[in-house]
């Protein structure tokens, strides 16, 4: 049984547009100890400062998908991810190139509240506006302020960890929005509070499925490729609205 192709930070979009989700029971988050709560506030404040200077990010990403039920399966996808923010408006895109080591190009873009998935091998574009209510969740760990995170998630600090040479803070997030909670019961991120970016994310999607996203070659506030949020179609391309 093949794992459904949902994507990391774009998991919200793909789940909403391509799959949907059933209700999943999740227990209330644990109450942090006062000392942990104080440190968490300091981390969130540092994210506020980083977010004020955040404009764009590009990074390489590897997504390891694991399914334990009903049939164990794994999948590894690699590509490039891009974020761009101007005021309250933002765009994001993920360009895949490999799936389990084999060429599998596809492009996912969110811009102006519209989600588009282009699959060159099928020569098809899927478009949806269903993600407009979830846009604020899509910048998770990439330029989101501490205030924005606390507004949308119940957050627990699970200590500091070094990834490469970077000191990160491990945050466990449980969505306050019950509709988001149906899709993703818990998200864990390892975040660099100085730059306001995630180096690693783990999405617990329930029902025996999770995905781990690891980012490298991260560039903050640098120029982005001219085709970061676009893709080329042709006269034979088919279009599907959902």
Give 30 or 159, the one with higher predicted confidence.
159
Q: What is the mean pLDDT of residues 25-53?
A: 76
Torsion of CA 110, 111, 112, 113, to 10 degrees: 0
Helix (H, G, I), strand (E, B) or coil at 54: coil
Section 77-81 average pLDDT: 93
Average pLDDT, the chain: 84
What pLDDT was estimated at residue 26? Answer: 42
Quick check: 78 and 95 in contact, CB under 8 A? no
Name the pLDDT band for 18 (thresholds 50, 70, 90).
Answer: very low
Neighbours of 225 (CB within 10 A): 12
Look at 113 and 30; give whichever has higher pLDDT: 113
Note the pLDDT tens digit of each residue in 197-239: 999 999 888 888 888 989 999 999 999 999 999 999 999 999 9
Cα three-residue angle 149-152-158, rounded to 5 degrees:
55
* 121: pLDDT strictly greater than 50: yes
pLDDT of residue 46 exceeding 60: yes
Adjacency order of strands within the sheet including 197-204? 153-163, 166-175, 186-192, 197-204, 209-220, 56-67, 73-86, 89-99, 102-111, 114-119, 124-128, 238-241
Least confident of 4-8, 48-52, 96-100, 113-117: 4-8
Do the Cβ atoms of 20 and 175 come closer than 8 Å?
no
Domains and CATH numbers, the chain: 8-16+32-241 (2.50.20.10)
CA distance 177 to 197: 23
> Number of helices and strands (H, E) in the chain?
4, 12
What are 23's two structure tokens? 């209700």
What tokens appear for 105 in the block? 């190009």
**What single-letter DSSP state applies at residue 223?**
-
């Amino acid at each position: 049984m093949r794992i459904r192709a949902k994507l990391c930070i774009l998991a919200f979009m793909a789940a909403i547009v391509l799959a949907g989700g059933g209700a999943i029971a999740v227990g209330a988050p644990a109450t942090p100890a006062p000392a942990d709560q104080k440190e968490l506030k300091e981390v969130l404040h540092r994210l506020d400062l980083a977010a004020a200077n955040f404009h764009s990010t590009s990074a390489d990403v590897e997504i390891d998908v694991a399914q334990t039920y009903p049939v164990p399966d794994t999948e590894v996808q690699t590509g490039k991810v891009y974020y761009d923010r101007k005021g309250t408006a933002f765009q994001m895109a993920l360009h895949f190139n490999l799936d389990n080591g084999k060429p599998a190009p596809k492009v996912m873009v969110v811009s102006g509240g519209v989600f588009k998935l282009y699959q060159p091998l099928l020569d098809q574009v899927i478009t949806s506006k269903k993600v407009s209510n979830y846009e604020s969740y899509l910048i998770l760990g990439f330029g989101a302020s501490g205030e924005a995170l606390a507004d949308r998630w119940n957050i627990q600090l699970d200590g500091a960890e070094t990834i490469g040479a970077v000191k990160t803070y491990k945050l466990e997030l449980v969505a306050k929005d019950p509709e988001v909670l149906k899709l993703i019961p818990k998200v864990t991120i390892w975040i660099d509070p100085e730059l306001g970016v995630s180096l690693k994310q783990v999405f617990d999607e329930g029902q025996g499925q999770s995905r781990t996203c690891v980012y490298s070659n991260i560039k903050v506030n640098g120029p982005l490729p001219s085709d970061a949020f676009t893709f080329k179609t042709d006269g034979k391309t088919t279009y599907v609205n959902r």
